[in-house]
């Protein structure tokens, strides 16, 4: 992570805006291509909520389709240690690399409780999740490609490596912002500036929307509003 972790106030500022407005704000800085840095739409937010989740990624890879050659898969204490020692709040991001992701779900109510205890506020995967009512009650947000009945042979490996989840490239330490629209990464170098830009863009959009709903609407005036610098 290039910069110091955000303060509680800076996290709260980012939570005031949905992912769409944050994406609009990021575009104005020209720090990356506009078709990168966010999920492609196959991952769903399991518990749409009024406020987004914001946190730092802890990454790894996941398989669930095949049994171990011998014995059984063990829980990963090294993953738990990595989450606990990472800047918080944290978000666990696992890339399911099975040929058909989502055969089994790593996170259900038990692992949700573990993540919550470790200061992790959300889980992002192109694979599956399960036990949704009890996970929701525990207070962990889920972004996943599917829902599964069983954990099957779910196990984690390659902790801390760069991953790609639903088209979004993520490294351990990446700053994530997610809500019912999906998940995106916020580049460290602009993270503290994004809320002010998002607020300005939000005001501009509100002006256009209110004008379109007014009795004074005209195409000529609309063109003037659209051309105003944002």
What's the confidence (pLDDT) of residue 78? 86
Question: Per-residue pLDDT tens for 151-206?
Answer: 999 888 899 999 999 999 999 999 999 999 999 999 999 999 999 999 999 999 99
Phi, psi angle pair for 188, to nearest 5°: -55, -40
Question: Looking at the domain assignment, is residue 201 inside a domain?
Answer: no
At 1, the pLDDT band (50, 70, 90 cuts) reads: very low
What's the confidence (pLDDT) of residue 77? 79
- d(CA 13, CA 143) in angstroms, rounded, equals 22
* Domain that residue 119 falls in: 8-196
Question: Looking at the domain assignment, is residue 74 inside a domain?
Answer: yes
- d(CA 42, CA 15) in angstroms, rounded, equals 23
User: If you count them, how many residues does the chain have?
Assistant: 230
Question: Looking at the domain assignment, is residue 107 inside a domain?
Answer: yes
CATH at residue 98: 3.50.30.40
Tell me the Ramachandran region of residue 221: left when phi exceeds 0, alpha when psi lies from -120 to 50, beta otherwise: alpha
- Provide long-range contacts, Cβ within 8 A and 24+ apart, for 76-84: 76/155, 76/156, 76/159, 78/159, 79/156, 79/159, 80/114, 80/118, 82/58, 82/159, 82/160, 82/172, 83/58, 83/115, 83/118, 83/119, 83/120, 84/118, 84/119
Question: Looking at the domain assignment, is residue 110 inside a domain?
Answer: yes
What's the confidence (pLDDT) of residue 105? 95
pTM for the model stands at: 0.93
CA–CA distances in Å: residue 107 to residues 9, 111, 191, 194, 216:
30, 5, 29, 31, 53
Question: Per-residue pLDDT tens for 32-75?
Answer: 999 999 999 999 999 999 899 999 999 999 999 888 765 555 66
What's the confidence (pLDDT) of residue 226? 83
Mean pLDDT computed over 79-101? 93
Mean pLDDT computed over 104-132? 96
Question: Looking at the domain assignment, is residue 68 inside a domain?
Answer: yes
Contacts of residue 96, Cβ cutoff 8 Å, sequence gap at least 6: 61, 62, 63, 64, 102, 125, 126, 127, 128, 145
Contacts of residue 107, Cβ cutoff 8 Å, sequence gap at least 6: 92, 115, 123, 125, 129, 130, 135, 140, 142
At 2, the pLDDT band (50, 70, 90 cuts) reads: low
Mean pLDDT computed over 133-151? 97
Question: Looking at the domain assignment, is residue 223 inside a domain?
Answer: no
Question: Per-residue pLDDT tens for 192-230?
Answer: 999 999 999 999 999 999 989 999 899 988 888 887 766
What is the domain count for the chain?
A: 1
What's the confidence (pLDDT) of residue 73? 57
Question: Looking at the domain assignment, is residue 75 inside a domain?
Answer: yes
Question: Looking at the domain assignment, is residue 170 inside a domain?
Answer: yes
- d(CA 56, CA 127) in angstroms, rounded, equals 20
What's the confidence (pLDDT) of residue 70? 54
């Amino acid at each position: 992570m290039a910069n110091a972790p955000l303060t509680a106030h800076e996290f709260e500022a980012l939570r005031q805006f949905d992912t769409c407005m944050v994406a609009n704000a990021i575009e104005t800085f020209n720090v990356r291509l506009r078709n990168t840095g966010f999920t492609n739409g196959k991952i769903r937010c399991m518990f749409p909520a009024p406020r987004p989740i914001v946190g730092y990624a802890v990454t790894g890879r996941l398989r669930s389709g095949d049994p171990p050659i011998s014995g059984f898969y063990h829980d990963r204490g090294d993953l738990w240690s990595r989450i606990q020692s990472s800047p918080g709040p944290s978000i666990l991001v696992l890339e399911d690399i099975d040929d058909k992701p989502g055969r089994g779900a790593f996170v259900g109510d038990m692992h949700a409780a573990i993540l919550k205890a470790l200061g992790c506020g959300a889980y992002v995967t192109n694979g599956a999740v399960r036990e949704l009512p009890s996970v929701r009650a525990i207070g962990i947000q889920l972004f996943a490609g599917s829902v599964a009945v069983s954990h099957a042979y779910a196990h984690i490996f390659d902790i801390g490596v760069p991953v790609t989840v639903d088209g979004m490239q993520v490294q351990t330490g990446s700053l994530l912002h997610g809500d019912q629209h999906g998940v995106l990464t916020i580049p460290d170098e602009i993270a503290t500036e994004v809320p002010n830009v998002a607020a300005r863009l939000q005001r501009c959009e509100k002006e256009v929307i209110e004008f379109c709903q007014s009795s004074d609407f005209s195409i000529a005036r609309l063109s003037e509003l659209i051309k105003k610098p944002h």
